[in-house]
Structure 1
Amino acid sequence: MRRLFPLLLLLATSISSLAQTRYEPTWQSIDSRPVPKWFEDAKFGIFIHWGLFSVPAWGPTERDGVGIYDRYAEWYWRKLTDPNAKTYPLFTKFHNSVYGEDVKYQDFASQFKAELFNPTEWADVFRQSGAKYVVLTSKHHEGFTLWPSAQAWNWNVMDVGPHRDLAGDLIKAVKDKGLRMGYYYSLYEWFNPLYQADVNAYVDNHMIPQMKDLVTRYKPDILWTDGEWDHPSDVWRSTQFLSWLYNDSPIKNDVVINDRWGKETRGKHGGFFTTEYDLVHEGTSEGVKFARPWEECRGIGGSFGFNRKENLADYSTSKQLIDVLIDKVARGGNLLLNIGPTADGRIPVIMQQRLKDIGDWLSVNGEAIYETREWDKAPAIGKSTTTYFTRKGNDLYLLCTKWPEQPVVISGVRKAGKVTLLGYKGAVTTAARGNGLSITPPAVSPSANPSQYAWVFKLEGAL
């Protein structure tokens, strides 16, 4: 007992010290908080863009010769009302011919009914996909909320449209399946009169109370902000809000945030850093080394919100999506893959199919993805790379997005305790070669092939 007492005292002191950590409303203090480990371990999440924009569900595609950001169907209202936008003629032509010039965007609220929405079925799709967390648009730039927000009177799902708490119903179903869930939240609102008249009043009387309500009401695991680019973080009162979030909120110990908290903060401040369709503020994610955990977000198609104009050619194949997941994880990041449900509450079948294929692949190869980290001795990753590496403890994983026809030599690894091909019961031949280890891929019959998309060799004790 005498020996145990000092250990108990040390443990109690450590817990007390942790509990007393206070984060000041400065970026230096906020940035000192580590990103909770669960986020880096999760690796794969599902993004959901759902709102009034899901009613028209329309935007240009790559076939129209527009850029990435011009293909976002969730920007329908803004592009429809901005004569300076280069896609303005496309949106107005579509809107006027389908709905008529007298129909306003606000009229879509009565058509957003979500009558086929089954949160349990959605949660099953997410769990089967192998995703470990989910992020739903609680409010996009249109300001319409998917929960009964007091700050969005008559502009939320309880007052109009579905007359149902979509955000609340989904987070319960998702967490019941053992997954993490959080919310996307747009700091700004395009046409909110208060925002247009007095941004300070908007922040103090609308945005901050609304975000605090979202946090205290649902206790999300993630707060994924966006729409920060109009103002620096001091205007948004970002550090003041985050100080409350980290010190006094009911999710202070486990919540994860991103880096979109002011026009100057992406890739510099906040929690994890974000890329979007590989774009960052300077250059692309290829070759960029981030100082913090990071996450790539992208759609299965060219838009985040459901776009009825997209056809099969506009959607990434299952093979392409699995390759993206491997690429991001091997670089040390996460993948947040977006789906765009329909206004009546369905996940499009093609999106379900893509998610199922990813889940099937992860069911065999997930140990090379989940809880792994980037291997600091891995060869540089380029556009033509087909062999990637991840590590976990003393084990190394070789992920091949193309079946290797010849032996693969891993430089810097001289031996491994055991080398296996995940999902394959046969032996794998290895041999020392120079300063590396040569792995000869086995002759695998179609019936014994563990995957049709990518293959993983596990090198036990190689590190």
Structure 2
Amino acid sequence: MKKYLLILTTLVSLQTYAQYQPNWNSLDQRPTPDWFQDAKFGIFIHWGIYSVPAWATNSNADGFGSGYAEWYWQRLFAPNLKIHKEFVAFHEKNYGKASYQDFVQQFKAEMFKPEDWARIFEQAGARYVVLTSKHHEGFTLWPSAQSWNWNAVDVGPHRDLAGDLSKAVKARNLHMGYYYSLYEWFSPVYKNDVNKYVNERMIPQMKDLVTRYQPDILWTDGEWDHPAKTWQSEEFLAWLYNDSPVKSSVVVNDRWGNDTKSKHGSFYTSEYGHGGTDNLPTNGFARPWEECRGIGESFGYNRNENLEVYQTGEQLVHQLVDIVARGGNFLLNIGPTADGRIPVIMQQRLKEIGDWMKVNREAIYGSRKWDKAPAYAKDSKLHFTQKGANIYAICSKWQDNIIIENIEKPTKVKLLGFNGDIKFTYKNKVLTIVAPQVNPNTIPCQYAWTYELSNAHK
């Protein structure tokens, strides 16, 4: 009996020791699941009540993010901003005295076909999807008990948008995730008693989101008002890593308090071209990173954006290559319309990326940054990734001769998407690849071309 009790006590002790404790020292020991770093490309979706007015200025008068259409409600009540008067004038001209809450009557999602969305994402080459389950406006896209009469089932579409999309995305074997705003602009409880808000609204909502839909990503935002202690982030993450139904697969970003960015989480985040420069890891935080941006300048759909504001397919492919070569993931945002359509211009851009990925996927999925690659330069036309013993040299501009220094001699050189042989010479650790004498447009991909260097990494 004593022996049995000793064994039982030992097992319980080991189990307790293996669990993550509610402090950063313990939580940071949890490794980031490999699937995330292997995936490389995901789709971000900003969709909510703000998709009804779908408007923001194209002026950067108030700096970074001033053209975000999803901030429409906040801009109407922010007289300190230079763009405030433009928002008020637009609103009064087109909606009179209607309140922001009145927009819910027009947020019907009547054209929303989640299976079509999931197909578009899969064909784009994305491996994961992140939907805004709740933005700073507080409206939830699932039937949250804490957002009674301010969620997509009680009002508006009268439909579980988050759940329906999750089913369609998972049916395509893509990873499903949710963006969740920790704070809310105009919640009376949040503004008057943040602790009550956290205990009675925020934590219950996040736990419900996780247990109900079992996402592989929880992407938090709106953390900047308070430190992680106030948000009870450590306690929540301990539950997520120890007891939630996705404890083994889930990844989280680094926005858990105004003191956590680039310090804690499964990966660190940046947006709109700031990746790898404005959010460098600190305090020994060694994790994957992810850059997010919209196809235009807004996350939520902005009817005020013209064609010149949108990135071309070539620009987006080049950004994907650049980010992956530097060891990151690319989370590209789309902003659906209030009736549930993905704008055709956004579908076109996703298709262009997908067409490129079909040919060059080996250089992207499951790859890692090549540590011996030449120093990164923003104007570089040659990027590298590494997978196993192979090195991939990706040219964003067609070159007749590609010269790579300080590399092992490959056993074979192949141009992805091209069936012919590729000639190369090797001397004094310098590899010279001779491009085939063809029109690059005849190769079944555009915008960038990849040479696979077999066994060039020792």
Query: Given the superposition, is the C-alpha separation of residues 428 and 72 from structure 1 closer, same or farther in structure 2, using an over 3 Å criterion?
Result: same
Aligned to 2:334: 339
Of stretches 408-417 and 146-155 in structure 1, the one that deviates more from structure 2 is: 408-417
Counterpart among 308, 318, 338 of residue 323 in structure 1? 318
- Alpha-carbon deviation of 1:285? 6.9
1:92 aligns with 2:88: yes
1:137 aligns with 2:141: no
Give me the whole-angstrom Cα distance separating, in 1, the residues matched to 2:61 and 2:376: 29
Of stretches 30-39 and 430-439 in structure 1, the one that deviates more from structure 2 is: 430-439
Contact 1:43 1:370 survives alignment (8 Å): yes
- Alpha-carbon deviation of 1:66? 5.3
Give me the whole-angstrom Cα distance separating, in 1, the residues matched to 2:373 and 2:277: 24
Question: For residue 306 of structure 2, what is the amino acid of its counterpart?
Answer: N
- Alpha-carbon deviation of 1:68? 3.0
Aligned to 2:75: 79
Contact 1:73 1:307 survives alignment (8 Å): yes
Question: For residue 388 of structure 1, what is the amino acid of its counterpart?
Answer: H
SS across alignment from 1:69: coil
Query: Given the superposition, is the C-alpha separation of residues 322 and 285 from structure 1 closer, same or farther in structure 2, using an over 3 Å criterion?
Result: farther
Give me the whole-angstrom Cα distance separating, in 1, the residues matched to 2:65 and 2:83: 11
Aligned to 2:306: 311
- Alpha-carbon deviation of 1:290? 7.1
Contact 1:278 1:285 survives alignment (8 Å): no
- Alpha-carbon deviation of 1:447? 6.5
Q: So what's the TM-score if we normalise by structure 1?
A: 0.93
1:51 aligns with 2:25: no
Aligned to 2:446: 452
Aligned to 1:7: none
RMSD across aligned positions (CA):
2.0
Aligned to 2:28: 31
- Alpha-carbon deviation of 1:86? 1.9
Aligned to 1:219: 214
Question: For residue 240 of structure 2, what is the amino acid of its counterpart?
Answer: L
Question: For residue 81 of structure 2, what is the amino acid of its counterpart?
Answer: A
Contact 2:262 2:279 survives alignment (8 Å): no
Give me the whole-angstrom Cα distance separating, in 1, the residues matched to 2:418 and 2:58: 41
Runs of 5+ in structure 2 lacking a partner? Answer: 1-9
1:125 aligns with 2:120: yes
> In the TM superposition, what whole-angstrom CA distance separates every residue of 1:417-461 from its partner, at most 9, and x where no partner exists?
110000001111110133211111111136632322100000001
Contact 2:270 2:278 survives alignment (8 Å): no
Runs of 5+ in structure 1 lacking a partner? Answer: 1-12
1:379 aligns with 2:374: yes
> In the TM superposition, what whole-angstrom CA distance separates every residue of 1:378-432 from its partner, at most 9, and x where no partner exists?
1112221110000000000000101113x21211114101100000011111101
Query: Given the superposition, is the C-alpha separation of residues 413 and 231 from structure 1 closer, same or farther in structure 2, using an over 3 Å criterion?
Result: same
Contact 1:134 1:180 survives alignment (8 Å): yes
Counting only pairs closer than 5 Å after superposition, residues 4-43 of structure 1 correspond to structure 2 as: 21-43=18-40
Counting only pairs closer than 5 Å after superposition, residues 11-410 of structure 1 correspond to structure 2 as: 21-62=18-59, 67-100=63-96, 102-279=97-274, 283=278, 291-405=286-400, 407-410=401-404
Query: Given the superposition, is the C-alpha separation of residues 428 and 18 from structure 1 closer, same or farther in structure 2, using an over 3 Å criterion?
Result: farther
Give me the whole-angstrom Cα distance separating, in 2, the residues matched to 1:440 and 1:71: 45
Question: For residue 90 of structure 1, what is the amino acid of its counterpart?
Answer: E
